[in-house]
Each structure stands twice: as C-alpha cells, then as structure tokens.
Copies of this chain bind each other. A is one copy, B any other.
Amino acid sequence: MTNSTPPVSHSIADIKALIHRESRRVTSYDVASAAGVSQSAVSRCFKPGASVSKATYARVMQAAFELDYTPNPAARSLRSFGARRSNLIALVACSRWTLHNPELLDELSHHFSLRGMRLLLFPLQLEAGVAEVLADIWQHQVDGAVIAAPVAEREVAEFERRRMPVVLFNRSVRDRQINAIVCDQAGAARILVNRLAAAGHRSFAMIDGPATSSIALARRRGVTERLAELGLAAPLHVSGEHDYASGARGLREIIDKLNGAPDAVICSNDLTAIGCLDTARLELGLQVPAQLSITGFDGIAQGAWRGYQLTTLRQPVRQMAQATADMLVGLIASGASGVERRVFSAAVVEGATARLGPAV
C-alpha cells in the first residue's frame, strides 16, 4: 500500500506560485484546489452551522490558513440578498462635539465592535449640515448611520427612502419623528436655573452655542423659559461657537454690555465655560463663584481638572452611546420602522464654580 495524495489537490507551494504569477488575491477556488474539495465545500466551511464533515472542515481550514485566505466580502455581499451587510456604520458628526467627547467615540466604537460592526467616519465642519456627505454615505453601502449633526427634514426623508436605519444622537428634526437618543437639554437647563435662582442669583447672562445646533437651542430655551416662569429678567444672550475662545470673548461682551458682571453666566457647553472661567479669574480678577457663578453643560473630562472643578450638567454619554448602538443594531437586524426616542437626563455636577441652592 503506497501513500497517496487526494486526487485533485495541488500543493500549497504550487498554488501560491500561481497566485503570485497572476498577481491576484486568494480565492475559494484556490483553497478548494489545495484541499482537494469543491469550491462550494470551502464556502460552506466559512458559513457557521453548515453541514460539513469534520475531516473536510479540517483540511479546508488548514489550506485556508496556509494560503491566508479570507472570503471576499464584496463577492459575499453581492451574492446574498437579505444578508448583504457591510457591517459598516456611518458616524456623521461635527468634529467639535465628537472630538471633544472622547468618551462618545470610544463608547460608540466599543459597542459596535462587540457586534462586529465598525465605524466609518464622516466628519463635518463645525455645525455644517449632513447634505454634503450624503452621496458618500450611499456610496459606501453602510448598514446604518448615527448622526450627531444638524439634519434637515429633507435629508431624513432620503434615508427613509433608501431604507437606511438612522439614529440621531442628541439631535432632533423639526416636523418629523425619527429614531433618536437624546439628553433632555431643556429639562437640565431648567434644573440648573432652579438651583442658581435658589442660591439667590438674579441677573443672568448666557453664552450661546452655534445657531444651527439644536442642542444649543434646547439649552437656551430651557434657561429662558424657566427664568421667565420664576419671574426673573430675561438673560442677556451673546453668541458663541462652543469653543474655548467663545467663553473668553463672550464674557467680555457681557460685561461690556451690562457695564459689570451679572450674578451668573450660563455657558452653552463646558469648553465655553472653561474659557469664560479663565477669563474671569485670570484676566478680570473676578472671584468665582463668590462674585460670579459660571456653569457649563456636558461634563467633559477637563471640567473635572483640579483647577476648574466646573459646575456643570453631566450627560450620561456612555449610556447614551450604548443605547445608540443597541437601537441601531436592532433596527438593522429587524428591519423595523417603528420610531423610538429615548430620553436621558443630565445630572448636576456641583463643582466649585457656581453657588447652587438646594434641589427642589
């Protein structure tokens, strides 16, 4: 009895040489040839739960390993109709918000990773609209999208027409119900105003965020409405861009217009608040919070730095990110179209830059 190789199989070396000569990638046919089986057998070995004999499976996997074979996802997604998933999620976000919230990107990619999906980045200029990247998103055949940027009703309709699942992160669209994970900005703002008012603050100023930001809008609305309800004077609004410089510029403008400092400056985000705080203490020599209370929104890491201990409203970013991943993955898996909106609450971080009264 002599040793014999399987009838049709070629040697690994020969196949590698062939592939190299033709300068192409390894295909399932190559693996089949190396393992002495048919191409469909190889395909089955890579499909979880297919019916393959132990022996065949072992031979195929061995050959696949030696040839560095990976199924071509393009061909795979081309073939299977229902399952043509790219496992790609588009993340459309304004650089500012996303990048100054390391936690967000971190947590989002983590939770999507756990489900075998990866984030494809579509960064926008500060508060630019998603319109400019829409075409690109279609091109890349993503399975779904997370949008943390201003969206118009028209654009949401586009996603719907193409049946692409979308979850809005901390954004909303006028006149349209859409899946979203949000933090109750207005509610948080109201609580903040309550506690500032309870501590005796009477004159307020606010450094706003970008005009196109629905987050900034909601924060402003919450502040303004609650102050009115409490019978306090409307706050002085100055514009800002949610960055450090806006805080410095904003405070100077406020003091200029009021001919002095108000009791409290509510900043539309933490970065602005930090800029405001530095200017108040270091440039204007104001005692914070003794002479002037300064608050932010977000709860970014820098706010907790020893020199700041910013009084702010912390959004549960990690939970929100997880909820976003959960929701989007669910939508992709089920193909469902029911609209859901999950609202999280911000928590007051007492910090040391504002005098706060007791919670009501």
Interface residue ranges, A against B (CB under 8 Å): 24, 68, 70-75, 77-78, 81, 84, 86-88, 95, 99-100, 102, 105-106, 109-110, 118-123, 135-136, 138-141, 161-162, 244, 248, 274-275, 278-279, 281-283, 301-302, 305-307
Q: In the complex, what residues of B have CB within 8 A of residue A86's CB?
A: 74
Q: List 24 A-B contacts (CB under 8 A).
A: A24-B81, A68-B162, A70-B138, A71-B139, A72-B141, A73-B74, A74-B75, A74-B84, A74-B86, A87-B139, A88-B140, A95-B102, A95-B105, A109-B121, A109-B123, A118-B120, A118-B121, A120-B121, A279-B306, A281-B307, A282-B306, A282-B307, A283-B306, A307-B307
Number of identical protomers: 2
A interface, over-half SS:
helix
Q: In the complex, what residues of B have CB within 8 A of residue A301's CB?
A: 244
Query: Roughly how many angstroms separate A77 CA and B141 CA in the complex, as a whole number?
Result: 13
Q: In the complex, what residues of B have CB within 8 A of residue A110's CB?
A: 123
Q: In the complex, what residues of B have CB within 8 A of residue A140's CB?
A: 73, 87-88, 118
The 9 closest A-B pairs by CB, nearest first: A99-B102, A278-B306, A74-B74, A70-B138, A119-B121, A74-B77, A74-B78, A109-B123, A278-B307
Minimum CB distance partner of A82 in chain B: B23
